[in-house]
Amino acid sequence: MNTNYWSVDKFVDKLENYPQIQQAADLLSKNEVVAFPTETVYGLGGNAKDNQAVEKIFAAKGRPSDNPLIIHIAGQIQLTDFVEDISAHAQLLMSRFWPGPLTIIFPLKKGFLSSKATAGLETVAVRMPDHPVAMAILKASGLPIAAPSANRSGKPSPTTALHVKEDLDGRIAGIVDGGPTGVGVESTVIDCTSEIPVILRPGGVTKEQLEEVVGEVHVDPALADEKEAPKSPGMKYRHYAPDAPLYLIDGTREDIQRLINEQHREGRKVGVLTTAENEAFYDADYIYACGERDRLETVASSIYEALRSFNKQDVDLIYSEMFPNEGVGNAIMNRLLKAAGQRVIKG
């Protein structure tokens, strides 16, 4: 398959009228799949109403079909087509965080969306992205667009169009390059179908921010339970993994260097995922400083670039520092634990 590639200036006025956007929207209306930027990561979009389009998303990603997709919309009025009920909590969260990196789980009104997009569940995950290119494509197509991250399943999510091209060139109809994304980790997913909202996936909106709006918010203890049918994207299967095995080190930087030295004595090459504060400390074969520890949003914005960077280096394994499990640190640790297959070494 020939993959079309369009470069778009996200700062242009009335972007939805531009030829590149119109061409991408036309492909979506023909049930082809197109990658485009959001404020979190690049998404792989397809017509959420059509089984064939959704199947093409799963095929391009190599993704299991029991993993539900997030439906992207350009306006709240679209919810009336496929959402059975909007709770008071959901209304408050939409008012505060849409458009933005928050996905809300609603009760599904059946008959409008492809059942493949919702993995046969009684609920549907929806968000309104805060990115001019994504919104222009949604408006131009007039469709609800199912859009998981635009990467091969299990690989680090893409934060640039080049990442998408590396994974999906020749597998999809088009890539819209709108520059690098901002938040860097996927949206927070919150279930608003129960009395107390429940976070199913940590992301760009923190638990603390959510509680400022709706009060008590729970975190689903089944986040790591792979026996259950996933109610949200990112709850099942290994994700975000670099090619070399990744290990999280629960210890000091001295502990990490001791482990590096042990691997060097065995003739193995070691990569280290750290932050700017500790970069000069390590003696390793490849070191990636992923933002600043006292500004975790900088770590979140570059975590996938960091994981992908190791694939271009000759390393046998990767050691990563751990991060505070609070605020956006919840999302960072969630992604790193999945990338590591839950492998944690005590220092």
CB neighbour burial string for 291-328, b if at least 16 within 10 angstroms, e if fewer: bebeebbbbbbbbbbbbbbbeebebebbbbbbbeeebb
pLDDT at 227: 44
Triad 148, 149, 150: Cα angle to 5°: 115
Q: What is the pLDDT of residues 62-119, one digit of tens each?
A: 987 788 999 999 999 999 999 999 999 999 999 999 999 999 999 999 999 999 999 9
SS3 of residue 18 by DSSP: coil
Band of the pLDDT at 347, cuts 50, 70, 90? confident
Same fold: 4-224 with 246-346 = no
Starting at the earlier edge strand, list the strands of the sheet with 42-47: 4-7, 174-177, 34-37, 42-47, 145-146, 70-72, 123-127, 102-107, 188-191, 198-201, 218-219
Helix axes 88-97, 207-214, angle to 10 degrees: 120
Distance (Å, rounded) from C-alpha 60 to C-alpha 169? 10
pLDDT at 222: 74
Band of the pLDDT at 4, cuts 50, 70, 90? very high
Sketch the domain layout of the chain as residue ranges: 4-224, 246-346
Distance (Å, rounded) from C-alpha 310 to C-alpha 318? 8
Helix (H), strand (E) counts: the chain: 10, 16
Identify which has the larger pLDDT, 231 or 148. 148
Helix axes 161-168, 296-309, angle to 10 degrees: 30
Q: Are strands 188-191 and 198-201 parallel, antiparallel or unpaired?
A: antiparallel
For the chain, give the percent of residues with pLDDT over 70: 95
- 289 sits in the region (left: phi over 0; alpha: psi -120 to 50; else beta) called beta
Handedness of CA 280, 283, 286, 287 (dihedral sign): negative
Distance (Å, rounded) from C-alpha 346 to C-alpha 337? 14
Known binding positions for L-threonine: 40, 72, 127, 147, 187
Residue for token digits 């099942």? Answer: 236
**pTM above 0.85?**
yes
Distance (Å, rounded) from C-alpha 209 to C-alpha 168? 35
Find, among 239, 139, 228, 223, the residue nearest to 188 by Cα.
223
pLDDT at 232: 53
Known binding positions: 40, 63, 67, 72, 123, 127, 147, 149, 157, 187, 201, 240
Q: What is the pLDDT of residues 227-283, one digit of tens each?
A: 444 455 544 445 788 999 999 999 999 999 999 999 999 999 999 999 999 999 999
Known binding positions for ATP: 63, 67, 123, 149, 157, 201, 240
Tokens of 337: 């634990």
Assign domain 4-224 one CATH number from 3.40.640.10, 3.90.230.10, 3.40.50.300, 3.90.870.10. Answer: 3.90.870.10
CATH 3.40.50.11030 fits 246-346, yes or no: yes
